[in-house]
Amino acid sequence: MKILLRCLFIGISFGLIYGTYHKSVVDLKVGEKIIGFTVVFAAFVFLPIFLYHRWKGKRLKDYTLSEENLKKIRKNIENQVVSKNKPR
């Protein structure tokens, strides 16, 4: 999966660079089309694959603000305040 993502990223980077070059040197309209197709490909193909790869195996519950997670945050903050107030 990492190799696929790296290849897609390199391809997208190359497409943007080539589109910019083509736009400024060869033909404006064709260069803009190359850049546009590259951006659409990045948004609708690369981004979902990347997000799936990064979130695979993680629980969404760990990243949402539920009552349980708020209690943990408050407890951590209280522990930090108490440890800072202790004399050394």
Model confidence pTM above 0.75: no
CA distance 44 to 40: 6
Range of the domain at 30: 2-85
Residue corresponding to tokens 């951590």: 76
Q: What local confidence, expressed as pLDDT, does residue 87 receive?
A: 63
Domain count, the chain: 1
CB 46 within 8 A of CB 35: no
pLDDT digits (tens, 9 = 90+) for 18-58: 999 998 898 888 889 999 999 999 999 999 999 888 888 88
